Amino acid sequence: MKLWGGRFSEDTNQLVLEYTASISFDQRLFPYDIRGSIAHARMLGQTGILAPHEARAIIDGLESLLAEYEAGKLAFRLEDEDVHMNVERLLTERIGDVAKKLHTARSRNDQVALDMHLWARDAVDELLAGVKRLERALLRAAEAHLDVIVPGFTHLQRAQPVLLAHHLLAYVWMLVRDERRLRALRDEIDLMPLGAAALAGTTFPIDREMVAEELGFTRLYENSMDAVSDRDYLLGLLFNCATIMTHLSRLAEELVLWSSEEFGWIELADAYATGSSIMPQKKNPDVPELVRGKTGRVYGHLMGLLTVLKGLPLAYNKDLQEDKEGAFDAVDTVVPALELMAGTIETMKVRRERLQHAFARDFSNATDLADYLVRKGLPFREAHEVVGRLVADALAKGTNLAGLTLEEMRARSSLIGEDAYEALDIARVVEARQSRGGTAPSAVRLQLALAKEAVEGQG
C-alpha cells in the first residue's frame, strides 16, 4: 500500500514505478533526511502538535535507524519510491503507528528541499577542503622552484621567459577565486525551506526558527513557493564545480605537455602515473588526462539542470527529481580530482637539468631587445620591425638573437651596442620585471607571500 495511495484503485504500473522511483540514488540523503526529521519531530513535540511521548518515540526510532544505516544494516525498497518514504516505512515497522504522525505539517516537497540544502552545505565543505589542499601543494611547489626559469607561452608558442613559480602561482590565484565563490555559495545555501509544506505552508502552529536553529541555518525562505522550487543554489554548486574543473583541466593539460619528452620539464611520480600494456617504456599521465576528460561531464550536469529549470511553472514539479544525480556526480567527480591533482603536484619532479637548456634556440627575449631599442630612442613600432628582421636573420643562420654578432645586429640598427647582449640575457630579462605582478624573483616572492596570505586568510 502506497503512503499516498488512498485515492487510487489500481496498482502502479511496474515500469512507471521503476521510471519514477529515486531511491537508487537519493538513498545517500538518508542521514540528512533523518536529521531533518528529528528536528521536525522535536519541534512538533515542543509546539504541542504532537504529545511529548509521541515526539520522543519518533526521535528514538529515527536515531536507531541512523545507527543501523551507518552500520550498513538497512535495506531499501524500490516500492517505497524515495528515501523519505523508505524512512517512514522503516520507522513504522520499528515503532508502530505513531510513526505516521511524523509527516504532520510537512510535505515531501519541502522535505527533499531541506535534505538537498543539508547535503549541498556538506558538499561545499568537501570542495573547500580539496581546493585548500591543492592551493597549498601549488604554493609549496612554487616556493621550491623560485630559481627555475621556463619559457612562457601565448598561442602555445614561446613568448617570454618566466619563473616556474610565477606560472604555478597563476593556478593558486584561480583556486583562491574558486574558494571565494564557494564561500559565497555556502552563504546562499544557508536558507531553511522546511515549513513550506507542499507549496502553501501549513495551518499548524509550527516553529520554523526552532528547526532552523537545530539544523544550523541562520535564515528562512520568506516565500513558500520559492522554498520548494528553488534550485538556484544547486546551479551555483554545479557552476562552481564546472569552474573548478576548468582550472584543473588547464593545469592537467600543462602537466601532460610538461611530462612529455618533447617538453621534458617534469617527471610524474610512479604513484601518480600508469604504464602501457604493450610499450614497456611508457609512463602515461593518466591522472591529469582523466581530470581533463571528466571536465565535460561536469559541464553537462550544469547544462542539464539549467535545461530542467528553464520552463518549470511554480511550484514543485517531478522534473526537479532530476536535480540530484547530476549534482551528486559532479561533486563526486571534483572532490577526488582535487585530491589527485594535489598529490600529482606534491610528488612531481622538476627536471632542472633539462630546463637549463630550454633557451638554447629560443627567441623569448625578443621583446626585451625591442624595449632596449625603445630606451635608445626608437619608436616601439620601428623597434618591433628591427627585432623581427633580426629574428629572421638568426633563423637563417641557425642560431638565436644572442648568437648574432654585433656587426650583424648593427646592420639592422645603429642604435644597438655591446650592452644589447645584457638585454638578451634570460636571467636579466626575468629580473627586469620588478613591478608588482611581474616575473622578477623579488616580485614573485612578494606574490608568493600574498598568495599564502590569501589562502590561509580564507581558513
The residue among 59, 113, 98 whose CA lies nearest residue 229 is 113
> Which segments in the chain show pLDDT lower than 50?
none
Any bridge partners for residue 43, and if so which? Answer: none
Which residue carries 516505512 as its cell? 89
| Active-site residue, selected from the candidate residues 155, 277, 414, 435 | 155
Which residue carries 514505478 as its cell? 17
What's residue 11's pLDDT? 81
Cβ-based neighbours of 326, under 8 Å, separated by 6 or more: 238, 300, 301, 302, 304, 305
| Active-site residue, selected from the candidate residues 24, 260, 276, 442 | 276
**What is the Cα–Cα distance from 296 to 303, expressed in whole angstroms?**
11
The residue among 231, 187, 132 whose CA lies nearest residue 454 is 132
In 3-state terms, what secondary structure has residue 329? helix
Length in residues, the chain: 459
In 3-state terms, what secondary structure has residue 2? coil
Cell numbers linked to 89: 516505512
Residue 276 annotated among the catalytic residues of the structure = yes
**What is the Cα–Cα distance from 455 to 445, expressed in whole angstroms?**
15
Any bridge partners for residue 274, and if so which? Answer: 284
150 close to 429: Cβ distance less than 8 angstroms: no
Cell numbers linked to 11: 496498482
**What is the Cα–Cα distance from 196 to 198, expressed in whole angstroms?**
6
Cβ-based neighbours of 399, under 8 Å, separated by 6 or more: 361
Cβ-based neighbours of 16, under 8 Å, separated by 6 or more: none
